[in-house]
């Protein structure tokens, strides 16, 4: 999950960019198009190029090269227009005084990469596509607040909200706001959405267009001749190569110079430092809102419903549905060791589900590594080793866990640290690692996706993709539980459901007072932590590597790494 930013030229703003001696340098005007090829390495290979049909950042990253939102957030948290002519405000009449609508003025003379004009009808269609439950769009939750979207004219769009909405900038903005072409998707706007040819060869308004895509392997782009600033693009061709591992990707940019950019370098700190010392490139660490967490399955992954569904909300987990047990597991996780020894300067241990912007990070929470207290809690809950096999049990049920995550050396080492702590409590742990192209694919037919969650614990990174955290905090509401009935769409794969949490989210979603709203989100975070609903591990920096040859990039915490690829140049 994931997935808003743009034009500022400051190198160390809101997101605290560190290790950034080669931060993006501004390009001059009148840049001539370069004939070179830009080589991108994504060790988590994209499998689909429609970001609304996948929770994987890898798919949104590849899609963002060719698709655009109306606007996005730069690293200072300021909105910057893409397809919008300007940013709506109350002063310019774009944001309604009653908080129930926002009107966007669109850029004129913008064309899709096939030459068809972009208009307000495409924005309206994108909303209709995302809000159709038959489509099963993973970004649908962001658009639940919308009552209707109307095209006032070809270049004006009005978004009407169901309630007063302070988070109007979540809609059509950033990674979850990429606009789809009506003329391409209109016959694939229902249950057949995943069959659309454009999922593999998208038509976009962005700087580059796809000419070849091999899912799980390679995407080839060329400069888009219809792009509004085509004469300023730095490259004629982009090669996005997937597969391999994060360490090899880092080596290709930092040491051998075989690639220009490497994505999501979840690499142990000492290894990354050694590679960076070669001097071929720079490591960019940008602290945004990403947080590595252990998700606890509140449903039983082993019970099978008559429909064949597992991890069904109808069957609570035999022991993880007990808060005392969950608290014991949290106490057995050595976050400090994980953060300091594995992540180094690119990760900080955290007790919070919501970690950014800073004003939303709760001061009321804490974490503790205490095996003795954890053992006492399990004893109190009635879980003891009655048969002498080394594993706690109760009523004939063994306390055995399957703990899954994606294939990545750092994640496998994190799993090992967690397993050691849990086994010391008398909890049996089986580790499972899944290829990231499957794990993050959102393929409703594949049982190994994080939405299906046919395990007891799972681990991955996510966070709010906007300075406004309401869409992210919606992840844990009851209505966001993925299940067979909604084609496994939704972000709440923990199957956690708390009416009080939902009530607070609804109130925060329409609270116009910023300070009251801030307190509500902090309280929601505190509910999750107090209830041990999830185990936060590390507030992760977004770590990438750029070749010394590349200039013009502007990292931001609020969109994909490729959000400003139209500005990248070969020095």
Per-residue pLDDT of the chain (571 residues), as tens digits, is 333 222 222 233 334 333 433 333 333 333 344 458 999 999 888 999 999 998 778 899 999 999 999 999 999 999 999 999 999 999 999 999 999 999 999 999 999 999 999 999 999 999 999 999 999 898 898 899 999 999 999 999 999 999 999 999 999 999 999 999 999 999 999 999 999 999 999 999 999 999 999 999 999 999 999 999 999 999 999 999 998 888 999 999 999 999 999 998 988 889 999 999 999 999 999 899 999 999 999 999 999 988 889 999 999 999 999 999 999 999 999 999 999 999 988 899 999 999 999 999 999 999 999 999 999 999 999 999 999 999 999 999 999 999 999 998 899 999 999 999 999 999 999 999 999 888 988 777 889 999 999 999 999 999 998 999 998 999 999 999 999 888 888 889 999 999 999 999 999 998 999 999 999 999 999 999 999 999 999 999 999 999 999 999 999 999 999 999 999 999 8
Residue whose token pair is 């509140």: 298
The answer to whether residues 306 and 315 touch, using CB atoms and an 8 Å cutoff, is no
Rounded Cα distance between 505 and 471, Å, is 10
Q: Which residues of 489-523 are buried (b: 16+ CB within 10 A; e: fewer)?
A: bbbbbbbbbbeebbebbeebbbbeeeeebbebbbb
Paired tokens of 135: 């489509």
Beta partners for 461?
292
The reported pLDDT for the residue numbered 445 is: 82
Of the CA atoms within 13 Å of residue 543, those in its CB half-sphere come to: 26
pTM beyond 0.85: the answer is no
How many other C-beta atoms are found inside a 10 Å radius of the C-beta of residue 270?
Answer: 11
SS (H, E, C) 64-112: HCCCCCCEEECCCCCEEECCECCCCCCCCCCECCCCCEEEEEECCCCEC
Rounded Cα distance between 122 and 425, Å, is 56
Rounded Cα distance between 147 and 130, Å, is 13
Rounded Cα distance between 224 and 233, Å, is 9
Q: Which residues of 140-160 are buried (b: 16+ CB within 10 A; e: fewer)?
A: bbbbebbeebebeeebbbbbe
In this structure, the dihedral spanned by the alpha carbons of residues 476, 542, 247 and 175, taken in order and rounded to 10 degrees, is: 70
Element (H or E) spanning 521, and its range?
helix 514-530
The reported pLDDT for the residue numbered 6 is: 25
Cα-flanking dihedrals φ and ψ of residue 500, to 5°?
-70, -40
Tell me the domains of the chain and their CATH numbers. 289-540 (3.10.105.10)
Paired tokens of 255: 């040491």
Q: Please, which residues have CB within 8 angstroms of residue 307's CB and are 6 or more apart in sequence?
A: 484
The reported pLDDT for the residue numbered 35 is: 54
Cα-flanking dihedrals φ and ψ of residue 83, to 5°?
-85, -15
Return the CA Rg of the chain: 23
Kindly report the length of the chain. 571
How many other C-beta atoms are found inside a 10 Å radius of the C-beta of residue 293?
Answer: 22
Rounded Cα distance between 53 and 500, Å, is 30
Rounded Cα distance between 211 and 258, Å, is 22
The reported pLDDT for the residue numbered 336 is: 97
State whether the Cα torsion 489-314-406-15 is positive or negative: positive
Taking the alpha carbons at both ends of the chain, their separation in whole angstroms is 33
396: buried, middle or exposed (CB in 10 Å: 19+, 13-18, 0-12)?
Answer: exposed
**Ramachandran bin of 237, using left for φ above 0, alpha for ψ from -120 to 50, beta for the remaining angles:** beta
DSSP state of 339: I
Rounded Cα distance between 178 and 80, Å, is 14
Nearest to 79 by CA among 179, 143, 4, 10: 4
Nearest to 219 by CA among 416, 41, 374, 359: 41
Residue whose token pair is 């947080």: 291
């Amino acid at each position: 999950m994931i997935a808003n930013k743009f034009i500022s030229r400051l190198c160390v703003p809101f997101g605290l960019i560190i290790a950034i001696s080669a931060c993006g340098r501004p390009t001059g005007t009148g840049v001539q198009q370069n004939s070179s090829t830009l080589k991108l390495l994504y060790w988590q290979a994209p499998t689909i190029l429609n970001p609304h049909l996948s929770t994987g950042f890898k798919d949104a990253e590849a899609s963002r090269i060719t698709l655009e939102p109306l606007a996005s957030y730069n690293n200072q948290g300021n909105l910057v227009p893409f397809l919008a002519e300007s940013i709506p405000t109350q002063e310019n009449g774009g944001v309604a005084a009653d908080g129930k609508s926002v009107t966007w003025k669109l850029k004129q003379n913008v064309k899709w990469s096939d030459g068809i004009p972009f208009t307000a009808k495409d924005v309206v269609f994108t909303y209709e596509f995302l809000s159709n439950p038959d489509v099963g769009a993973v970004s649908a939750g962001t658009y639940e607040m919308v009552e209707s979207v109307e095209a006032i004219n070809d270049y004006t769009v009005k978004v009407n909200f169901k309630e007063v909405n302070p988070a109007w900038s979540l809609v059509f903005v950033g990674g979850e706001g990429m606009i789809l072409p009506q003329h391409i998707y209109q016959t694939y706007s229902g249950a057949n959405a995943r069959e659309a040819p454009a999922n593999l060869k998208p038509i976009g308004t962005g700087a580059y267009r796809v000419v070849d895509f091999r899912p799980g392997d390679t995407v080839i782009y060329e400069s888009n001749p219809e792009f509004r600033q085509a004469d300023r693009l730095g490259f004629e061709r982009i090669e996005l190569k997937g597969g391999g591992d994060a360490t090899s990707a880092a080596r290709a940019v930092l040491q051998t110079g075989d690639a220009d950019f490497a994505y999501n370098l979840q690499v142990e700190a000492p290894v990354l430092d050694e590679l960076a010392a070669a001097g071929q490139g720079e490591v960019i660490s940008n602290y945004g809102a990403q947080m590595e967490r252990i998700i606890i399955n509140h449903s039983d992954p082993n019970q099978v419903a008559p429909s064949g569904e597992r991890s069904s909300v109808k069957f609570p987990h035999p022991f993880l549905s007990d808060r005392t047990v969950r608290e014991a597991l949290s106490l057995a996780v050595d976050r400090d060791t994980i953060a300091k020894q594995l992540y180094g300067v690119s990760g900080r241990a955290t007790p919070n589900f919501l970690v950014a912007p800073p004003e939303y990070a709760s001061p009321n929470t804490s974490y503790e590594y205490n095996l003795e207290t954890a053992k006492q809690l399990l004893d109190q809950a009635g879980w003891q080793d009655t048969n002498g096999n080394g594993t706690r049990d109760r009523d004939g049920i063994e306390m055995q866990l399957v703990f899954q995550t994606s294939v990545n050396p750092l994640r496998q080492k994190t799993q090992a640290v967690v397993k050691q702590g849990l086994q010391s409590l008398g909890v049996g742990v089986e580790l499972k690692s899944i290829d990231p192209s499957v794990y993050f694919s959102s393929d409703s037919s594949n049982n190994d996706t994080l939405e299906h969650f046919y395990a007891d614990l799972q681990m991955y990174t996510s966070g709010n993709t906007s300075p406004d955290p309401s869409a992210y905090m919606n992840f844990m509401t009851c209505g966001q539980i993925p299940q067979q009935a909604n084609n496994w769409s939704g972000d709440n794969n923990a199957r956690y459901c708390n009416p009080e949490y939902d009530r607070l989210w609804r109130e925060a979603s329409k609270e116009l007072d910023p300070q009251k709203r801030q307190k509500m989100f902090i309280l929601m975070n505190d509910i999750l932590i107090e209830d041990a609903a999830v185990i936060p591990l590390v507030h992760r920096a977004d770590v990438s590597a750029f070749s010394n040859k590349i200039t013009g990039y502007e990292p931001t915490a609020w969109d994909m790494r490729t959000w400003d690829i139209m500005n990248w140049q070969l020095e």
